Amino acid sequence: MAKEPSTAAEEAGGKSFFKELSSAAAKKALTPLLAAAATASTSYLTRKTTEIWHEDVLPKVREKGGGKAVAREALEKVAGLLSGRSAQLLTEFAQRLGEVAPSDSPADQGSTEKGGETESEAKREEERKQRQQRRQQRQRALQKSAST
Q: How far is residue 62's CA from residue 54's CA, in Å, rounded to a whole number?
A: 11
Whether 87 and 48 have beta carbons less than 8 Å apart is answered as: no
- Any bridge partners for residue 76, and if so which? none
> If DSSP codes are grouped into helix, strand and coil, which group holds residue 114?
helix
Burial class (CB in 10 A: 0-12, 13-18, 19+), 94: buried
pLDDT digits 0-9 by tens, 15-54: 687 788 788 888 888 899 999 999 999 999 999 999 999 9
> For residues 7-28, b (16+ Cβ closer than 10 Å) or e, as one string?
eeeeeeeeeeeeeeeeeeeeee
Assessment of whether the complete model's pTM goes beyond 0.85: no
Residue 118 pLDDT = 76
> What percent of the chain has a predicted confidence (pLDDT) above 70?
77
Q: How far is residue 146's CA from residue 123's CA, in Å, rounded to a whole number?
A: 35
Say yes or no to pLDDT of 4 above 80: no
pLDDT digits 0-9 by tens, 44-94: 999 999 999 999 999 999 998 888 888 888 888 998 888 888 888 888 888
10 vs 77, higher pLDDT: 77
Q: How far is residue 16's CA from residue 114's CA, in Å, rounded to a whole number?
A: 74
> If DSSP codes are grouped into helix, strand and coil, which group holds residue 2?
coil
Instruction: Supply the DSSP symbol for 115.
Output: G
pLDDT digits 0-9 by tens, 82-131: 888 888 888 888 888 877 555 544 444 444 444 556 788 888 999 999 99
CA distances, 134 to each of 36, 138, 140 (Å): 21, 6, 10
Instruction: Supply the DSSP symbol for 107.
Output: T
